[in-house]
Chains A and B, each alone.
Chain A
Amino acid sequence: MLVKKALFITLLQLACTKAVFSETQKITIEIKNHLFYPSEVIVPAEKKIKLIIDNQDKTPEEFESYELNREKVILGKRKGIVFIGPLDPGEYPFFGEFHPETALGKIIVHQEKP
């Protein structure tokens, strides 16, 4: 019974997300010489965002963020997609795990004006 209920809630949640899928905003972040361009990305609050990470270096990089709970390895000269949000206003740092000294950036979430 409990399992059925949990499954139902999960399916309901899935249905709800598909409905708002169409308004997903896309943002591209490039990696060059182990640096993120742009290193600061401003996004609206409470919205789902599609991040396209374009690794222009020859070497692999891992896009990682503890605050966003995201990690993805992107090979050299390849692109990777990571969805983030809906987020509360604030700053969410991210870094390249393979080059954490230089590859640093943050997502800045702003409250949308009504």
Chain B
Amino acid sequence: MILSSVVIILGEVLEFTILTSIFLALSFHLKIPRRWIIYGVTFGCLGATSYALSFDMVSQWFEGFGQEVINATIQTSIYICLLLFCSIIFINRKNTVAVKYLKWLMIASVSLALTREGSEIFLYLSGVLASEQFVMPVLTGSALGAGIGLSFGILIYYIFINTPSRKSLLVGYALFIFISAGMLSQGVRLLIQIDWLPAQKVVWDTSSWLDESSVVGRLSYTILGYEATPTLIEIQFYITAIAGVIIATALSSYYANKTTSGN
């Protein structure tokens, strides 16, 4: 009982802690005050609580597919936030206006991630508390899971902090490309589940090589969007997502340079 609650809570908090720790470290390197995190967490907690409390109603939207539609919308929104964040991160130093946008994009990404993952934790814990069985082991396990997730985030944060700024920005940028593509593929998978996007045959199966349920598999899923058995449409969206971020970055640098040289 303890172990399974460690696993479930860790799985839920990992995405949020990784995202947040990279954002906080990049804020340090970009000299952006890190107060935005207070807003991100506050909005996220409010979002998670209201989503969980209205979950019954939301689930019934779209002929019983409300949960998938809302979650896919959240994942796509995080993708768009990360795309915009990545596209202006390098022009930031030349353009002070970008700092304001970066701050709001970080708040939006963090609060959206917390809304989705926090609501699941809320539903899980409310179920356990209502059944009045195994309450203590579940709470202990959950605290352990959250602790491990948080420690992992702190570890990432300090690795980034102790890396030179330029290198940190590049590594953060590269990680965000994969994290954002993973977010979009998660959304696509939810739409396949409700038959809004076509269900297709699996293109390859790497589960014998790296099992998605293993620790490394879960981490790769969160950071790289790893999927052992993807279908063609998931691969198409994954590649399009990566290309989207790179093109957006190229376009924004091009226009930023043009404006600077124009002045």
| Interface positions of A (Cβ within 8 A of B) | 6, 9-10, 13-14, 16-17, 21, 48, 58-62, 66-67, 69-73, 75-76, 78-86, 88, 97-101
Asked if B228 and A75 make an inter-chain contact with CB atoms under 8 angstroms apart, the answer reads no
Asked if B233 and A75 make an inter-chain contact with CB atoms under 8 angstroms apart, the answer reads no
In the complex with contacts A70-B193, A101-B1, A78-B8 CB distance below 8 A: no
Those 4 A-B pairs whose CB atoms lie nearest each other, nearest first = A59-B127, A17-B198, A66-B212, A60-B127
| Interface positions of B (Cβ within 8 A of A) | 1, 4, 7-8, 55-56, 59, 64-65, 67-68, 120, 123-124, 126-128, 130-131, 189, 192-195, 197-202, 207, 211-213, 227-229, 232-233, 236, 240
Asked if B124 and A81 make an inter-chain contact with CB atoms under 8 angstroms apart, the answer reads no
Which residues of A sit under 8 angstroms from B229, Cβ to Cβ?
Answer: 67, 69
Asked if B127 and A76 make an inter-chain contact with CB atoms under 8 angstroms apart, the answer reads yes
Asked if B59 and A97 make an inter-chain contact with CB atoms under 8 angstroms apart, the answer reads no
Asked if A14 and B197 make an inter-chain contact with CB atoms under 8 angstroms apart, the answer reads yes
Asked if B202 and A73 make an inter-chain contact with CB atoms under 8 angstroms apart, the answer reads no
Which residues of A sit under 8 angstroms from B8, Cβ to Cβ?
Answer: 97-98, 100
Which residues of B sit under 8 angstroms from A84, Cβ to Cβ?
Answer: 199
Which residues of A sit under 8 angstroms from B201, Cβ to Cβ?
Answer: 86, 88
Asked if A58 and B59 make an inter-chain contact with CB atoms under 8 angstroms apart, the answer reads no
Q: B123 is contacted by which of A71, A73, A99 (Cβ under 8 Å)?
A: A73
7 contacts between A and B (CB under 8 A): A16-B198, A48-B195, A60-B124, A66-B211, A78-B59, A84-B199, A98-B124
Asked if A17 and B195 make an inter-chain contact with CB atoms under 8 angstroms apart, the answer reads yes
Asked if A88 and B202 make an inter-chain contact with CB atoms under 8 angstroms apart, the answer reads yes
| Distance between A114 CB and nearest chain B CB, rounded to angstroms | 19
Asked if B59 and A75 make an inter-chain contact with CB atoms under 8 angstroms apart, the answer reads yes
In the complex with contacts A60-B127, A98-B124, A13-B64 CB distance below 8 A: no
Which residues of B sit under 8 angstroms from A80, Cβ to Cβ?
Answer: 59, 64, 67
Q: How far is the CA of A61 from the CA of B64 in the complex (A)?
A: 16
